[in-house]
Structure 1
Amino acid sequence: MRETRANFDVHSDFDVHCYAESWPLKTAFVISRGARTEARVVVVEVSADGVTGVGECTPYPRYGESVESVLAEISSVLPALRRGLTREQLQQALPAGAARNALDCALADWEWRKSGAAHSGPDWLPTVQTLVIADPDSMSEAARAAARRGVTVLKLKLDRQLVLERVAAVRAAAPDCQLVIDANEAWDGEGLPALCQALAEHGVAMLEQPLPAGEDALLADFPHPLPICADESCHTRADLPHLAGRYDMLNIKLDKTGGLCEAQALAEAAAAQGFEVMLGCMLCTSRAVRAAWPLGQFARFVDLDGPTWLAQDVEPLRFEGGRVYWT
C-alpha cells in the first residue's frame, strides 16, 4: 500500500486528516472500460473529544473524479467544518460524489463512536462475487472456484463480445449459482430485446446498466424478460423521474450518492416508487463496506466484494461462503 498524506488541522474541536492510498490488487480487475491493477482511495479522519471517525471514498474517472480533485473538494469545505458544518448542511455544501461521501461517512462514524452505541445491524450480509471479463474458459474456471467456496451469486462483467458464450460457460460451471450481469454501459440498442430474452432463458437473474447513461430510453420500449438495474444512470433521488419505466432496480453506491444520508433517502424513495435495490461498492477497503452496511438488509442483491480484490486490506472484514461478516 502506498500513501500520500495532507493534514488539515481544522479547529480545536475537530482535527481533520485527509490522505490518499493506493492498494494493489491480487489480479487485474477487467471491465468493459478497461483494466485496473490498484484501488486508489481517499480517506478522511475527523477527531474530537478523543474520538476519531473514518470515511473512505474511491474517486471514479467515469464521473470526472480523480484523487487530486477529491482532495481539493474536501479542502474547500474545511472552513465551513470549522464553523460547525453538520452532515445535513454538507449535503448542500458539496455535490453528490466521492468527496462528500468520505466526509459524510467520517462524520457519521464519529457520531456513532462518540455515542458508544453497539453495532446494531446484521452480523453478516450475503454478497455477490464478481467475475471480470476474460475468455469463456477462464470465466468458467473462476465461477467453478467461487462456487466451491460457497458463493451463491455471481456477477459477470461483460463487454459486447461473446456475451452468450461467456454466460453459458459460467452457467455450466456453476449451475446452482444465481447469475447477474453488468455491462457497464458497453452495449447498444441493436438486438437488445432478443439478447435480454436469451439471457432470461439462461436463468440470468438481473442485467445491470446495458446502455450508456443518457442513452437508455430504449429500455422503456420493450417488456423486460429479466429485471434491469440502473447503475451509472442513478446517483441520487434527482435521477428517479428519468428511471421509471426503464429500470426495475437501482444500484446504490455511497460514492455516487455522496454518502449515507442521500443513500438512505434514495433507498426509501426507490422503494416507495416500486424499485428494488442493489447495494454496491467500488474497489475499496473494508472501511467503505462498513459504512454501507446499514443499507444491506434492505437490498435484494448485495455487491460488497470490493475488498476481496485487494492484495492487502485494512481492518479486514471476513468474506467466506458468499457472505461478509461484521468483525
Structure 2
Amino acid sequence: MLRRISAVQSSFRLNRPFRISRGTRTAAEVITVEIAQGGVTGRGEGVPYARYDETLDSALHQIETARPAIEAGVDRRELLGLMPAGAARNAVDCALWDLEAKLAGRSVAEMAGWPEPAPVATAMTIGVDTPANMAAAARALRNVPLLKVKVDDHDPLAAIRAVREVAPAPRMIVDPNESWSMQGLADRQSALADLGVDLLEQPLAAGDDAELEGFAPLVPLAADESGHLRDDIPRIARRYQVINIKLDKTGGLTSALEVATAAQQAGLRLMVGCMVSSSLSIAPALVLAQRCAFVDLDGPTWLAADRPGGVTEIEGVMKPAEPGFWGAL
C-alpha cells in the first residue's frame, strides 16, 4: 500500500468581521490535509484554535510527526492513540474517512451507520456589536429558522432584546463564550426565558462551571468549551442539558460519533457546531447534524469565497455539498 499525505495552510478572507467576546477575526486560517492512495485522494480540514493553545504551526508539526505512521497505513481507530484531540487530528481523520469511502465505493454516512446528509436548518450567527448594529444584522435574518446571538457580559440583554424585536420568529441560541459569572447567569434567567431564548451556550468559563451542578435553568444550557471527549460526558451531564460537539475539538468525526453516542446514553441532547471555516469542515459535520437538536454550521457563510462545490445556505437552511466533494462518490 503506497500512501502519501500532504498538509498545508489555507487562508479564506471573510466577507465581514466576525466578533465574539474573545475578539475579532477577518480571515479563516485552516489546515488542509490530503491523503492519496490507490489513485484516489481523501481530503480533510482543521481549524487550529488559540483558546486551546493551537496554532497553524503546531498543527502542521503534529501532522508531520505522525506522517510516517499515517503513510504506513494507520487507520482511524489507531489515529486516536497516535495524535491528540484537536484540529490537526480532525483534518487527518476526515481525510481518512473520505479516502476510505472513495476506496470502498460507499458513503461516509453508510460506513458510520448514520443517515445520509440532508438539508438542515443551521444557526445564522450575529456577532458581538452594539444593539443597534445587531438589530440591523438580525433584520436581514428575520425569516431564518434559527439565530445564534453572540454576546459578552456588557448588557447582553439589551443586545438580545434588540435582536428579538426585529426577529420575533426564529428559534434563538445565545452564546456568551464563557464571559458570564454565575450571578449574572442566575439574574438573567427570567429575562432569557421571556425573550424566547431556546438555548444558552457556555455562559460560564469552563473551569468555573462546577456551580451548575444542582442549578435548574429556565433555558437549557449547552456545554461547548467545558468538554469535548467521551470521558467528559458524565461531568457534562451533571451540569448541562445539551452538548455542542465540534470536530475540531473532538479531533475528528470518529471521536465525534463516539461522543454523540455517549451523550445520548447520558440523556444529553446533541448540538453540532463549527469554527469559521470552509465547506471542507462542514461536510463531515453534516453527517453528525442529522441527529442533532441544534445545528450551528454557518462557518462558510462568513467567507468571501468558499471551496468550489461546497455546501450552500439559503434562508438558514444548509444543503450538502455537490457529489464528490467529500464523503461520497
Q: Which bin holds the TM-score, normalised by the shorter protein?
A: over 0.9
SS state at 1:245 partner = helix
Deviations 1:77-115 (A, max 9, x none): 111123321111000011111111010000000011122
State how far apart, in whole Å, the 1-side matches of 2:101 and 2:27 are: 30
State how far apart, in whole Å, the 1-side matches of 2:236 and 2:96 are: 31
Map of 1:144 onto structure 2:
139
Map of 2:112 onto structure 1:
none
**Paired residue for 1:207, among 200, 209, 222?**
200
Letter of the structure 1 residue corresponding to residue 202 of structure 2: Q
**Paired residue for 1:77, among 54, 60, 66?**
66
Quick check: 1:62 aligned with 2:51? yes
Map of 1:168 onto structure 2:
161
State how far apart, in whole Å, the 1-side matches of 2:241 and 2:107 are: 35
Map of 2:266 onto structure 1:
273
State how far apart, in whole Å, the 1-side matches of 2:85 and 2:108 are: 27
State how far apart, in whole Å, the 2-side matches of 1:75 and 1:69 are: 10
**Paired residue for 2:210, among 209, 213, 217?**
217
Letter of the structure 2 residue corresponding to residue 256 of structure 1: K
| CA shift for structure 1 position 118 | 5.1
Quick check: 1:42 aligned with 2:36? no
SS state at 2:271 partner = strand
Count of matched residue pairs: 314
Quick check: 1:303 aligned with 2:286? no
Map of 2:94 onto structure 1:
105
State how far apart, in whole Å, the 2-side matches of 1:191 and 1:64 are: 28
**Paired residue for 1:291, among 278, 284, 287?**
284
State how far apart, in whole Å, the 1-side matches of 2:117 and 2:273 are: 17
More displaced 10-residue stretch of structure 1: 191-200 or 167-176: 191-200
CA contact (8 A) 2:89 2:251 kept: yes
Deviations 1:4-44 (A, max 9, x none): xxxxxxxx611111100111101110000000000000010
Map of 1:322 onto structure 2:
316
Over 3 Å counting, the alpha-carbon distance change for 1:81 and 1:122 in structure 2 is: closer
Deviations 1:271-319 (A, max 9, x none): 0000001100001100111111211111001100000000110023111
State how far apart, in whole Å, the 1-side matches of 2:202 and 2:185 are: 12
Quick check: 1:122 aligned with 2:117? yes
Q: How does 1:27-38 map to 2 (within 5 A)?
A: 27-38=16-27
| CA shift for structure 1 position 169 | 0.8
Letter of the structure 2 residue corresponding to residue 299 of structure 1: C
Map of 1:227 onto structure 2:
220
In the alignment, structure 1 segments of 5+ residues that lack a partner are 1-11
Structure 1 vs Structure 2: percent identity of aligned residues?
44
Map of 2:325 onto structure 1:
none
Letter of the structure 2 residue corresponding to residue 228 of structure 1: L
Deviations 1:205-259 (A, max 9, x none): 0100001011101112421111000000111012112212210000000000000
Map of 1:264 onto structure 2:
257
Map of 2:327 onto structure 1:
none
| CA shift for structure 1 position 125 | 1.5
State how far apart, in whole Å, the 2-side matches of 1:128 and 1:145 are: 14
**Paired residue for 2:232, among 239, 243, 260?**
239
Letter of the structure 1 residue corresponding to residue 284 of structure 2: A
State how far apart, in whole Å, the 1-side matches of 2:190 and 2:85 are: 35
| CA shift for structure 1 position 74 | 0.4
In the alignment, structure 2 segments of 5+ residues that lack a partner are 110-115, 323-329
**Paired residue for 2:84, among 95, 109, 112?**
95
CA contact (8 A) 2:33 2:92 kept: yes
State how far apart, in whole Å, the 2-side matches of 1:118 and 1:68 are: 32
State how far apart, in whole Å, the 2-side matches of 1:119 and 1:92 are: 22
SS state at 2:306 partner = coil
Map of 1:192 onto structure 2:
185
Letter of the structure 2 residue corresponding to residue 126 of structure 1: A
Deviations 1:30-76 (A, max 9, x none): 00000000000001000111100000000000001000000000011
TM-score, normalisation: structure 2: 0.93
**Paired residue for 1:86, among 66, 70, 75?**
75
Over 3 Å counting, the alpha-carbon distance change for 1:259 and 1:118 in structure 2 is: closer
State how far apart, in whole Å, the 2-side matches of 1:191 and 1:123 are: 39
State how far apart, in whole Å, the 1-side matches of 2:214 and 2:22 are: 26
TM-score, normalisation: structure 1: 0.93
